[in-house]
Each structure stands twice: as C-alpha cells, then as structure tokens.
Structure 1
C-alpha cells in the first residue's frame, strides 16, 4: 500500500510518501516539504494571518498533487498545534478542504506523543529497554515513557519553541529580564505537570526527536560511540547565554541552526534544558524517527492486523486520494 502522510507543522508542511508491506520495513518513496511559517504568523488575538493561510493552502495543494503523481492510494493529512489551537481553526480547515480537496484533521497532543513513542521504539528495538521520549514542536512539548511497544504514559504541554518565543521572549535579542522570567515559568510548569515517578529514571533510555533537539545537538557537536547525536545538559547550559545575546540573524549563522528556526531556538534550548533538568537527565540521544514514522507504523499495523485489536488513533485522518486540481500557488507578494 502506498500511503502519503502530510504533516502541517508550525514551520513547514512535510509530505512523506511510503510503501507499506506486511513483514517488510517502511520504504520511503519521497519526502518533501514547503515552508508555512505559521508560528510567526499567529496574531495577538490567536488568529493565523491571511497571508500565512495562503501559504498553507498552497503547500497542501502542492502536496496533494505530488501524492497523486506518485500514485499514492491514500492520504493521512493532519495539522499540529499551530493550526489546532488557532482561533480561526475552523475557517482554515474549510479553506483547505474547499480549495484543495484535502480534509485536514488533527491529532491530540497525547496521541502525537504516543505515535512518536511508537516510532522511537521501532527504531531502537526491544534491546533498548524502557524508553523516555521528549519532542519539542512549535506549539507543544510531548513526553512519553514506556517499557513496551506502546507508551505507558503520554503527556503534552503547551511549551513549544514558537509559542514560548511569541508569548515570553519579545525583542531581538530578548532582555535578560524576559529570559529569567521564562526560565522560572518553565520550571513551574514542569514541576506542576510531571509526576514524581517521571523524574530521575536512570534505567530508561532517554531519547529526543524533533528539529529543535536535532539542531541543538548539532550546535553542541556531540555524538556517542554508536554515532548518534547526543545533547548533554552541561553543553546546553553553556549555549543558552550565548544564544540569548545574539539576534535571530546572528543565530542563523551558527553551525546547525536553520534560518527558519533561528528566532525560536533560544526558547527551544530553554525548554530542552528545563525538561532535562526536571526529568533528571544529564544527556539525551537524538532519534531520527518521529511522528510521521509513527503514523506510518500505525497504518502498517492496521493494514496487516490479525485478530489482535489495533489502536485506531489515526483512522479519522485517513482519506482516499481524489483527482487533484492544479496546484494553488502562493501570491508573489506573500
């Protein structure tokens, strides 16, 4: 079965097309993304700007056409917290459906955490033992733990790098006062929501996913003997004051930091630091698989399930592909 997975995130719309066959690995046919820059387009009233909605519609339209051109039989299309939490969410979804033919759905934050954990478990296998997974998105932070194939616990908090930048770090660069306030805010939030049993899990294999963690690991230039990128708390602590003193343009010149995430990487580093501290971690390993791979694995389970019941957390997102119209182009001025 050829399945197209479209993930509309805070910074880009990422299309991943995979072939799924019983007993075989997930085979990636194509992976492409287009910028949406939704995180920077959320206005004070919580609405996503019209220009950003046009970018989103254009990106979804292009993805739809590519999925059809690659002969995908089905599409799983969803948006994460930037659209999910927007005041004009219903209008955005209606525009996407009406103009592209794609039904853009949503996963809950907890389901995002569970599906990402599923991908991490598949990547590392059973030999890794208990896993602790953290993922920093544009709008939310997901944490999941478990000893089996599925997460035993899953948590989603509104502590994404884009959201924190917008709400807590005005200025470029932000003032020391705002950085201190954000540090206290993060400590209070994590202390409130993490249970005592979530902290200090020395036997759990600590793993991180997401572009934020990956770019921070590139910035600190650390790998373990197995070749995986690693983010160490001590190295992260050293980088945060340096990031705080730089403008977004200056951060974009640092090794590993992309231009699209340069403004929010400080908040991302701070939530990574606060999360690792709250969980009692001195290091965390970067896993290359995340939510999209988790969705592909869940769909593979559903397609080839025997008598055992399979979690249907993605069933509402599944749609057969219809004939796609010509791609909608973003106006030149956008």
Structure 2
C-alpha cells in the first residue's frame, strides 16, 4: 500500500537560533484516507485518557520492534522508544471526539539529535495497558537545513505501517496487548526440525497440511504437524437461525492483515466481507462475523492473510 505524502517546508528568517522540526499527524478520514475511529481490542473507541506519542526507535528494524513487543511488552517498547516533542492524546484537535486525533509536535532537531535521520514512529497507549505501534516508511526526522528552512512533515495514520496492533480491514485499526509471537523469521526459528531452506519460505508447507508457513504463523498453527485445528468455522448462535463465521488470528500482529472473503459458488469473483466483522470479546485471538437471517442463498467464505511489506 503506497500513497503520496507531501512534505512541506516552511521558510523562516535566517538567524543563529536553533530551528525546531514539526511533525503533524492526523487520523481523521478524508477522501484519500478512509480511516475509521481507532478502537481498543474489545472494539470500544479510544478515549481522551489514551496517550499518543510521536518519536522513533533508533537503529531498530520493523522485525526487531515486533520481536521486542512480543518478548518485552509495552515496557520494552517504551524503553526503546525515543519521544519527539510533547505527549498528545486521543481527541486532541478533533474537539475531544473519541477514536481520533490531529496533532502537531515540535522539537529541536540537529544532526546529533537522537531522532535525526530516524523513521517517524507513533506509539499509542491506553490506560488499560493496550498499545499500538506504527511507522511511516520513508519519512524521517530531518535536521535544520543550511538555508534555515524548518522541516515540516504532514502525515496521515492510514499511510503508516502497523507493527503492533490489529488491522481489521484497510481502515480499521485497534490497540492490542503484546503479540504472542514476534516476526515471522523469529517464529520460524522456533521449529529447528525444519532444516531445508526451501521449506523455510513463507509459502512453503513442510507438514503438507495445505497451510503455508505464513498462514500457520498468522493463525497460531504449527508448521511441523498436520493435525492443527481448522483456522475457520461456521457456528450457530442461539436458536434464532443466526450464524457466526469465525477464524483464528494472533492478536497484535499489526504487520498481518486478515480479511474475510465470500462467494456464492466458490468461483471468482470473491468479495471482501466486512459487515459485522469484529473481535470476539471472549477470545481475543478470534475474529467473527454475524450472518443474520434470512439467509436466502448459498454462501462460502475463505480467510485471506497478507503480510505488510
């Protein structure tokens, strides 16, 4: 997913004083960014007690940040995060509306500043201990230019790469507890019996159960045994003819996008099914969609799992 992010430069008077860099980030939907309000893992819109921090993870790759979140949780993430500017909060810049923000943070930037040259990152923390980590690929904190121009970055959350948190569809992000596993490479290293390099590829299927390594990773499977339970199911809800379509996912893996697709006859085209898609409040590693009667035709479902490049 690539979009154009415009970088704007503000001109100031040349002087000997230190200029400050400014980063503006919004989560408000616009015609090019259909961003839904941010929610907690339980699906509740984030409120004003939720902290929003802009900063960087100096010298760390995306995989290293995900591994840190898995093993060190929020405390590990906070320790490695270098803040830029002051703390902000959900509701800031949007008249206190839950689930959204429009923030501007400003801080001195020199070539020796901790954030200089580092990828702009976002850390969101709820009062209950859930968190979200996102980065803006290709967007870095820039020091003052020789001409005295003040660096200004204007960014939209929809253009960020989600590392920790959940992506329910292209526009719905949620916070999460620490993910149960880290990066794909670190997860796969936990299965030392897979020694053939070709069998370590994301699309490989070492146990021949029809689920690739990446699908096993994203749904909590084991790539060395063919006896994993099915990743999805259709179950009755009560006695009113209501059905649930459920499927497994690992909560917190922001680099993975899970989408439910449906078809009436198992033939293309498959269309994304987003009605009522939600996290199961009792089982955080399960997503579900409710099918309400009357059900007038056959419907087939499949789970599509994609990794963020």
Give the shorter-chain TM-score range. Answer: under 0.3
Q: Looking at secondary structure, tell me which structure has more helix per residue.
A: 1
More strand by share: 2
TM-score by length of 1: 0.24
Q: Larger RCO: Structure 1 or Structure 2 (Cα < 8 Å, ≥ 6 residues apart)?
A: 1
Tell me the TM-score normalised to structure 2 length: 0.25
Give the greater-gyration-radius structure (CA): 2
